[in-house]
Amino acid sequence: MSEYETIEVRTENRVGYLTLNRPKALNALNEQLVRELAAAAIALDGDENIGAIVITGSEKAFAAGADIKEMARKDYTDIAANGLFEDIRALDRLRTPTIAAVSGYALGGGCELAMACDLIIAADSATFGQPEINLSIIPGLGGTQRLPRAIGAYKAADLVLTARTMDAAEAERAGLVSRVVPAAELLSTATEVAETIAAKSLPAVYAAKAALKAAQEGSLAGGLSFESQAAAGTFALEDQTEGMTAFAEKRKPHFQHR
Ligand code: CO8
């Protein structure tokens, strides 16, 4: 029996797959799901044989938000004192690249979960939005911070303040989505992207991800300084020698992830 009730976990070809599995609630995030997702992601991140993590849902819903029925009972003091879904921050600390493979609804906490990943690959059926304002709450899992960084202040304000949603094509034009593919090709494309990343030198990928994250978080000067240190660090890798030797010898590199 799986140790998790609300997600499914499998691994194949150096890729870990985490599938949200609360179909009756359109994969709405509850405390148990977020806790299980974080625990499974941390376990995959600690496995040297895993080079990329795919997070996905069902055809109808990546995740239709936080679980409104569970949240309805909470008041300010509950959330201020105990937090809510704080385990989701674990995704920010992963060294391994994460890919959200989004089909159907990615709303509220679902959109925020996708944005907590490094890449977002969307089916042409995907719908993104932050409709929290309709419930008289606001995004609380990163939406007001990551959406403006991804799509710009004015488009983000449109989504967060009016609750309107974007289809996959608009989300791609706006820069929220890495690639849009026909729904039937979503998982095969996410797998191809994940396996491509997982075949690279793992420590070089860690360095690239860390430098990309620095671009989201700090000043340009701080980010450039971080990048130059991280880039210098990749020259300490055995895989750097192998990668450059293989290029000169016109062959494929054999990375040892060292
Ligand atoms: N929470 C709980 N249950 C849900 C949710 C949800 N977010 N979304 C759907 N469901 C349930 C429905 O209640 C329904 O259950 P039942 O069959 O028992 O009635 C089942 O899933 C199927 O849903 P629908 O019948 O509504 O399916 P439709 O295809 O008609 O509609 C929609 C799909 C448009 C996605 C619709 O379900 C919807 O609008 N859902 C809510 C979307 C939403 O508002 N999301 C934002 C939630 S708030 C949030 O995410 C805040 C995060 C930050 C909190 C942190 C604070 C600190």
Residue 242: give its domain's CATH number. 1.10.12
Q: How far does the centroid of ligand 1 lie from the alpha carbon of residue 62, in Å?
A: 12
Determine the structural domain holding residue 245 and report its residue range: 201-249
**pLDDT band at 2; cut points 50, 70, 90:** confident
User: Does ligand 1 have an atom closer than 6 angstroms to the CB of 142?
Assistant: no
ipTM of the shown complex: 0.98
Please report whether residue 122 resides in a domain.
Answer: yes
Tens of pLDDT, residues 84-118: 999 999 999 999 999 999 999 999 999 999 999 99
Q: What is the pTM of this model?
A: 0.95
| Strands of 40-82, DSSP E | 52-56, 61-63
Residues 6 or more apart whose Cβ sits within 8 Å of residue 102? 56, 57, 62, 114, 120, 121, 122, 123, 126, 128, 177, 186
CATH number of the domain residue 33 falls in:
3.90.226.10
36 shares its domain with 128: yes
Question: Quick check: 136 and 161 in contact, CB under 8 A?
Answer: no
84 shares its domain with 210: no
67 shares its domain with 180: yes
- Is 238 a residue of the active site? no
User: Does ligand 1 have an atom closer than 6 angstroms to the CB of 183?
Assistant: no
Tens of pLDDT, residues 157-169: 999 999 999 999 9
26 shares its domain with 142: yes
216 shares its domain with 126: no
CA distance 227 to 77: 41
User: Can you give the C-alpha Rg of the chain in angstroms?
Assistant: 19
Mean pLDDT for the stretch of residues 175-192: 98
Provide the pLDDT for residue 218: 87
pLDDT at 1 > cutoff 70: no
Provide the pLDDT for residue 87: 96
Bridge partner list, 100: 55, 120
Q: Which of 26, 29, 68, 128 to mutate to test the pocket of ligand 1 (most atoms within 8 A of CB)?
A: 26
Report residue 214 as tokens: 């620095």
30 shares its domain with 57: yes
Give, in degrees to the nearest 5, the angle at Cα 248 between 246 and 249: 60
Provide the pLDDT for residue 254: 96
CB-count exposure of residue 52 (10 Å: 0-12, 13-18, 19+): buried
Q: With left for phi above 0 and alpha for psi between -120 and 50, is residue 14 left, alpha or beta? A: left
Q: Tell me the pairing of strands 105-107 and 166-167.
A: unpaired
- Helix 202-217 with 238-248: angle, nearest 10 deg: 110
Bridge partner list, 55: 18, 100
- Measured in whole angstroms, the distance separating CA 224 from the mean position of its chain's CA atoms is 24
Using the structure block, give the residue that is written with the tokens 């690239």.
Answer: 208
Report residue 53 as tokens: 């993590």
Q: How far does the centroid of ligand 1 lie from the alpha carbon of residue 104, in Å?
A: 12
CA distance 258 to 254: 11
CB-count exposure of residue 74 (10 Å: 0-12, 13-18, 19+): exposed
Residue at 176: amino acid letter: L
194 shares its domain with 215: no
Tens of pLDDT, residues 24-35: 999 999 999 999
Q: Which of 32, 67, 68 to mutate to test the pocket of ligand 1 (most atoms within 8 A of CB)?
A: 68
User: Does ligand 1 have an atom closer than 6 angstroms to the CB of 143?
Assistant: no
Q: Tell me the pairing of strands 52-56 and 7-12.
A: unpaired
Domain tally for the chain? 2
222 shares its domain with 112: no
Tens of pLDDT, residues 111-132: 999 999 999 999 999 999 999 9
Question: Quick check: 163 and 131 in contact, CB under 8 A?
Answer: yes
**pLDDT band at 232; cut points 50, 70, 90:** confident
- Measured in whole angstroms, the distance separating CA 26 from the mean position of its chain's CA atoms is 18
